[in-house]
Structure 1
Amino acid sequence: MSQHTLEKPQLTTVAHRISSDAEAIDVAHRLAEQFRQGAAERDKHRKLPIAELDAFSQSGLWAITVPRQYGGAEVSYRTLGEVIRIISAVDPSLGQLPQNHFVVVEHLVLDASETQKQFFLELVLKGARFGNAFSEKGSRTVAEFETRITPDGTGYVVNGTKFFSTGALLAHWIPIVTVDATGLPHLALAEQGTPGLQVINDWSSFGQRTTASGTVIIDQVKVPQEHVVPIYQAFARPTVGGPVSQFIQAAVDAGIAEGAVEATIQYIRQHARPWIDDKHSQHASEDPYTIQQVGDIKLRLNAAIAILERAADKIQIAAADATESHVAAASIAVAEAKVLTTEIALLASNKLFELSGTRSTLEDYNLDRHWRNARTHTLHDPVRWKFHAIGNYYLNEVNPPRHPWI
C-alpha cells in the first residue's frame, strides 16, 4: 500500500455522451470485458485502476443519470443498477468507485439551485468525476459529523477529517459533507487541488483494495457560496436520496456475487476433481452434490437480482411521485434487496472454495479476492437493521427513517 498522493487528475477530453438505456448497458458490457483483464493482479498488488477509471468515466457511463432537460440520458434505475452490477462482477472496486458520484448527482438534482444544476451537471456530462468526503471514523455513529462549515466573507471555510473516502484520490471534484452551526448537513464541493484539501491513499482493508477509500484532510478549505448545497433538505421531505444510495450498494454486492458464482463454475469445470466416494463421475461437474449446490447458489443469485430490479422499479415510482408512502415503499424494497444481495455475495464467495477444493486457495489463483470483497463491501451498513426496518414496516406499519443508510 502506498500512502503518497498522486498528481491531480486532469479532465483533458470531453466524455462520450450516452443517449439511451440500451446504449448504457452495451457500453457497460464492452468495458467489463476490458476491465476483466488484470483485475486479479490489480487486487493482488493494490494497483489503482487509473487507466480503467479514465476509460470508465470517459465512456459516458458516469453521466447516465443526468436528467434529459440538462442534456443527459436520464436512464432508469434498473439500468443504473445493471450497469453497476455488470462492472462489479469483473472488478468490484471499479464498480464501487462511482457509487458516491451517482449519489452526489442525485442530491444535485434534488437540492441544488438551478444555477448549480446547470454548472455541475454540465461538468458531469463532460466527464468530471465526483469523489466523496462523507464519513468520519471517530464519531459515535456514522451519521454524526464533526466537519464544520462556517461563513467566511462571501463564501465559506471548511475544516475536518474524513475517512472511507471512496474515489476521492482519483476524482476531479471532492464533495464534502459538513455541518453548520445548527448541525444541518451541507455539501461543499471543492475542486481537487484546492489549497488545504489533502487526499491520502492510506486505505488498508483486505477487500475492495483499489478503491483508495482512505483519508481526506480538510484544513481551512475555502468554498464559494455557489458550491455549497443544502443536502439536509433531501431528508426533511420524502425523496429517493436514501433509497438510491443504498440501491447502488446492493447492486455492487450483486455484482460481487455474480463474479463469485462465475469463478466457481469455471474452476469446477477446469480444475476441480470428483470426490473419492463418487464412483461414476469422471469430472467434478458431474458430481450430483456439486450440481445441486451450484443450482442452489445460482437460484439465490437470480432471486436477489430479481428483488434488486423490483427495488429499482419502486424507486422509479417514488422519483416520479415522491409521496411519503412511495418513498417508504422504495426504501423497504431496497432494504430487501440489500439483505438478499449481502447474503448471496457472502454465500457464493464461500461456496467457491467449498466446491472447488483446497487447491483453489492457492495464491496463484487469487480467488480469495471474491470473499474479501464480499466481506468488506457488505459491511457498509448492517443487514440486521434492514430486517428490523422491513419487519417494522409490515408488522407495525412504521415507515423507515429518512437517511442515506436506509
Structure 2
Amino acid sequence: MSEKIEDGKVASRHRVNSSEPFEPRPRPGVPAHTIRDDAEAITVAQRLAAEFAGGASERDREGWIPVDEVDVYSQSGLWGITVPRAYGGADVSYATLAEVIRTIAAADSSIAQITQNHLALVSHIALDASESQKKHLFELVLKGYRFGNAFSERNSRNVAAFETRLVEQGDDVVVNGQKFYTTGALLAHIVPIVAVNADGEGFLVFADRDVPGLTVVNDWSSFGQRVTASGSILIDNVKVPKSRVVPVKAFDRPTAAGPISQIIQAAIDAGIAKGALDETVAFLRTKSRPWIDSGKDTAAEDPFTIATIGNLVIRLHAAEALLDRAGRRIDTALREPGEDTVNAAVLATSEAKVLTTEIAIEATNRLFELAGTRSTLAEHNLDRYWRNARVHTLHDPVRWKYFHVGNYTLNGVSPPRYPWN
C-alpha cells in the first residue's frame, strides 16, 4: 500500500495482483444518500462519471484499486436504486439501470464492473429471500453496504458446477471452498457465497467480509479490467447464521434473474464502446494527421474516416436502443412473471448483449486504425479500452446468444435459465 495526496487529502492506494494485506473496508459511517427516482439516478451517474473519468487512465496504468472512488460510488445511493419501493428504494426501471451502468463504464469500466454482482444479488434477494431477510438485507443496501461476489470457481468442470459446500450446524451453516473471479469482494462489506449442500441444492450465504476463515486474495492479473480486483477467495470453516442464508430458486421458475445479470454486463460493454468512440473523436480532432491521399488539412476531414465514425455511431446507437428495449422487457417480466414475459426479457437481453459485445470490440479496434500510430504511444494509454473490451466481453460467449435467439425463433425452444442468459 502507498499514499498519494489528492486535493489536500491523503488517499490510500492498493495495487492489483499484490501480496500486500488488504483489510476489510470499514462499514459506512453515515447512511448512503437515498435516490428517489429514475431521473435522479441518471443525474447522479453523470456527475460521478465526470469525477471518475479523470483518474481512470492512471488507475489502469499503475494498477491502483479504486478504493476511494468505490466508497463515493456506493455512498451516492446508486447501489440501492433497484431496491423495491416497499423497502425504501427507488425501484428504477432496468432501462434506467442500464443507462446508469453504461454512463459509469464509459468513464471507468472497472468501477462499473465492481457494481455488477451487487446489483444482481439485490435482484436475487427480491426473488428468493424471506420477508425478514428482505427487510434486513435491503436495509443494509440502502445504508451503503456493498455486496461482493463469491460465485465462480476456477477448477470446476464448468461455470455452473460448484464444489463449495455448506453444512448445517445448529443455528448456523459452515462453508468451505475456494472461489475465483470474485469481482467486488475485495471492497465489499458482505460477501455472498454460492454453496451447495449434500443434496446439491444451491444457496447464497451472506457472510460478513471480516468473518473468521474468509480470506479475499488480491491476485487478479488479467491484462484488462485490471482494477476490478477480481481475484480469489479462500473459505475455511466460515460460520454464518441461517438467517443470512438464501436459497437459490430464481432459476427453477420463470423469473428475470438471468436477464438482470446479463443487462448489466451488456451495459458495461456499451459504456466501453462509448468511451472508446469519444476518445477516437477527440484524438482525431486534436492529434491525428490526415492521410496524404485525402488531400485534406485535418484528419477529421478525411472522408473515409468520417464514414467509419458514422458507422460506429450508428452501431453504438443500435446497441443502446436494444439495451433500453431489454430493460423494458425485464420490467415487464418482473411485474408479470411467466414463461412468455421472461422469454421476451431473456431474448431481448441476448440481442443487446450481442450488439454491445460487437460494438465494444469494433470501436476499440477502430480507435487505433483511425487515430493512427501516435495513438498507440504509452503516454495516452488508449489500449486500455481494447484490453477492457476484450476481457469483459469474455464473461459469456455471444456465439450462444445467436443460437438461443435462432432456436426460439425457428423451433420455439425457450432459452435456458441461468445467470449467463
The TM-score by the shorter chain falls in which range? over 0.9
Of 232, 238, 254 in structure 2, the residue corresponding to residue 238 of structure 1 is 254
Deviation by residue 1:256-312 (Cα, 9 ceiling, x = unmatched): 000011011001001111111122x11000000000000001110000000111111
CA distance, structure 2, for counterparts of residue 250 and residue 278 of structure 1: 37
Deviation by residue 1:95-116 (Cα, 9 ceiling, x = unmatched): 1111000011000000001110
Of 30, 39, 42 in structure 1, the residue corresponding to residue 56 of structure 2 is 39
Counterpart of 2:12 in structure 1 is none
Work out whether 1:133 is the aligned partner of 2:150.
yes
**After superposition, where does 1:286-301 map in structure 2 within 5 Å?**
286-301=301-316
Counterpart of 1:142 in structure 2 is 159
Asked whether the equivalents of residues 5 and 199 of structure 1 are also in contact (C-alpha less than 8 Å), the reply is no
Counterpart of 2:282 in structure 1 is 266
The count of residues paired between Structure 1 and Structure 2 equals 404
1:130 is paired with a residue whose SS is coil
1:277 is paired with a residue whose SS is helix
2:33 is paired with a residue whose SS is coil
Gaps of 5+ in 1: none
Work out whether 1:95 is the aligned partner of 2:118.
no
CA distance, structure 2, for counterparts of residue 48 and residue 345 of structure 1: 23
> What's the CA shift for 1:4?
2.6
> What's the CA shift for 1:184?
1.4
Counterpart of 1:209 in structure 2 is 226
1:182 is paired with a residue whose SS is coil
Of 346, 351, 355 in structure 1, the residue corresponding to residue 361 of structure 2 is 346
Counterpart of 2:264 in structure 1 is 248
CA distance, structure 2, for counterparts of residue 40 and residue 146 of structure 1: 38
> What's the CA shift for 1:14?
1.0
4-13 or 158-167: bigger deviation: 4-13
Counterpart of 2:89 in structure 1 is 72
Counterpart of 2:370 in structure 1 is 355
Counterpart of 2:330 in structure 1 is 315
Counterpart of 2:406 in structure 1 is 391
Of 11, 19, 23 in structure 2, the residue corresponding to residue 7 of structure 1 is 23
Counterpart of 1:402 in structure 2 is 417
Name the aligned partner's letter for residue 44 of structure 1. Answer: R
2:72 is paired with a residue whose SS is helix
Name the aligned partner's letter for residue 287 of structure 1. Answer: D
Work out whether 1:276 is the aligned partner of 2:292.
yes
Counterpart of 1:107 in structure 2 is 124
Asked whether the equivalents of residues 317 and 326 of structure 1 are also in contact (C-alpha less than 8 Å), the reply is yes
Asked whether the equivalents of residues 156 and 225 of structure 1 are also in contact (C-alpha less than 8 Å), the reply is yes
> What's the CA shift for 1:5?
3.1
Work out whether 1:19 is the aligned partner of 2:33.
no
Work out whether 1:190 is the aligned partner of 2:187.
no
CA distance, structure 2, for counterparts of residue 219 and residue 13 of structure 1: 32
2:48 is paired with a residue whose SS is helix
Counterpart of 1:333 in structure 2 is 348
Deviation by residue 1:360-406 (Cα, 9 ceiling, x = unmatched): 10100000000000000000000011111011010111100111110
Gaps of 5+ in 2: 1-16
> What is the Cα-based RMSD across aligned positions, in Å?
0.6
CA distance, structure 1, for counterparts of residue 264 and residue 206 of structure 2: 21
Of 158, 164, 179 in structure 2, the residue corresponding to residue 162 of structure 1 is 179
Name the aligned partner's letter for residue 408 of structure 2. Answer: Y
CA distance, structure 2, for counterparts of residue 214 and residue 330 of structure 1: 31
> What's the CA shift for 1:54?
0.4
Name the aligned partner's letter for residue 114 of structure 1. Answer: E
CA distance, structure 1, for counterparts of residue 303 and residue 111 of structure 2: 36
1:97 is paired with a residue whose SS is helix
Asked whether the equivalents of residues 186 and 228 of structure 1 are also in contact (C-alpha less than 8 Å), the reply is yes
Asked whether the equivalents of residues 65 and 73 of structure 1 are also in contact (C-alpha less than 8 Å), the reply is yes
Name the aligned partner's letter for residue 195 of structure 2. Answer: T
Of 211, 221, 225 in structure 1, the residue corresponding to residue 238 of structure 2 is 221
Name the aligned partner's letter for residue 356 of structure 1. Answer: A
Counterpart of 2:10 in structure 1 is none
Work out whether 1:364 is the aligned partner of 2:369.
no
Q: TM-score scaled to structure 2, two decimals?
A: 0.95
